[in-house]
């Protein structure tokens, strides 16, 4: 259907003897989408009403995101506490506990060494079995390993955090903070607000429905007035530019509105220019948008046929 409408517009553009162009009224549309697939709790606006920028249009259920935000807050607090501990260094209590563990491990290792020496002496006199000697060696190896671990833990506490450990802790804290910021933004976007003043054109969902994430939940027609949209044929394109004056007549109204070209495309609507013959090039068209000035424009719906002329064109 859009392709047929463009074809009809182009046919009208090319078929007027007075260089006026056929087109239609259109509004700037803003489509607002669902941030998450959460149920709609409340709709605060009605179709066909005008709203101001920032007006609350509808609210989705934010309990799930709020719970995720609370969890992210706990992770962030834990990450910050760990970073602060690394930056501050270990408490004296931790160092004293590590020293006590090392002392205990050294005592265990010394006892195991003495026990092994005793069994070796007995075994040389055939008073201890080989199995008892093997067990003593195993116990000594285990206590030596425990002593080394305790020594390493104490050394680490006395040395403090390395630059790499501090960098990793900062990265974890930053990641947790960014997660909180993201969830706060998501929670805020579950309250859909008008980004600009305009007319509510469509609210496709009802309270209780769960729109998929990314689905349009509200359509807003923005601006104070519609604009005229026409297709400029190739022979006229070089004579028109943004800012040129226009005269616009709306079908069914006697008023002729003043207008100004706000945008005119640089690319044709179809078929690359390089592949066309001279005859074909004359059938190209370029989309133009014309701002309108005058009273009563805000009540005009989009889609009304218009006829546009350009006083600045040479006769």
Residue 12, pLDDT above cutoff 80:
no
Residues 6+ apart with CB under 8 A from 256: 247, 248, 249
Residue 20 pLDDT class (50, 70, 90 cuts):
confident
Residue 161: predicted pLDDT: 62
Give the count of alpha carbons within 13 A of 297, CB side only: 21
pLDDT number for residue 14: 40
Domain boundaries, the chain: 2-61+198-309, 66-184
Nearest-angstrom CA–CA distance, 144 and 38: 59
Q: Which pLDDT does position 282 carry in this prediction?
A: 59
pTM of the model: 0.62
Please name the residue that has the structure tokens 């040129």.
244
Average pLDDT, whole number, for the chain? 85
Instruction: Assess whether pLDDT exceeds 80 at residue 155.
Output: no
Other CB atoms closer than 10 Å to residue 238's CB: what's the count? 8
Q: How many CA atoms lie within 13 A of 88 on its CB side?
A: 10
Q: What is the pLDDT of residue 26?
A: 94
**Residue 66: predicted pLDDT:** 97
- Residue, of 115 and 282, whose pLDDT is higher: 115
CATH 2.40.30.170 fits 2-61+198-309, yes or no: yes
CB 111 within 8 A of CB 148: no
pLDDT band at 182 (very low <50, low <70, confident <90, very high): very high
Find the mean pLDDT for residues 195-217.
95
């Amino acid at each position: 259907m859009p392709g047929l409408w463009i074809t009809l517009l182009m046919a009208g553009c090319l078929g007027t003897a007075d260089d006026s162009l056929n087109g239609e009224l259109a509004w700037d549309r803003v489509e607002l989408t669902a941030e998450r697939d959460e149920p709609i709790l409340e709709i605060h606006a009605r179709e066909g009403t005008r709203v101001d920028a920032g007006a609350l249009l509808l609210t989705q259920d934010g309990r799930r995101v709020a719970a995720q935000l609370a969890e992210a807050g706990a992770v962030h607090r834990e990450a910050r506490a760990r970073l602060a501990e690394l930056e501050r260094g270990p408490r004296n209590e931790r160092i004293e506990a590590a020293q006590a563990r090392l002392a205990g491990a050294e005592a265990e290792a010394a006892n195991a060494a003495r026990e092994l020496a005793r069994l070796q002496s007995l075994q040389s006199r055939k008073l201890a079995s080989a199995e008892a000697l093997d067990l003593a060696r195993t116990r000594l190896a285990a206590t030596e390993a425990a002593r080394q671990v305790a020594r390493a833990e104490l050394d680490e506490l006395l040395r403090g955090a390395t630059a790499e450990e501090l960098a990793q802790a900062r990265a974890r804290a930053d990641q947790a903070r960014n997660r909180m910021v993201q969830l706060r933004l998501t929670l805020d976007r579950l309250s859909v607000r008008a980004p600009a003043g305009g007319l509510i054109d469509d609210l496709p969902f009802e309270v209780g429905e769960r729109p998929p994430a990314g689905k349009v939940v509200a359509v807003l027609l923005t601006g104070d007035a519609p604009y005229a949209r026409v297709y400029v044929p190739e022979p006229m394109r070089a004579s028109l530019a943004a800012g040129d004056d226009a005269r616009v007549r709306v079908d069914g109204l006697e008023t002729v509105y003043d207008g100004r070209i706000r945008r005119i495309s640089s690319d044709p609507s179809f078929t690359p220019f390089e592949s066309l013959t001279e005859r074909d090039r004359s059938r190209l068209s370029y989309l133009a948008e014309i701002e309108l000035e005058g009273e009563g424009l805000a009540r005009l719906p989009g889609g009304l046929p218009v006829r546009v002329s350009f006083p600045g064109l040479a006769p």
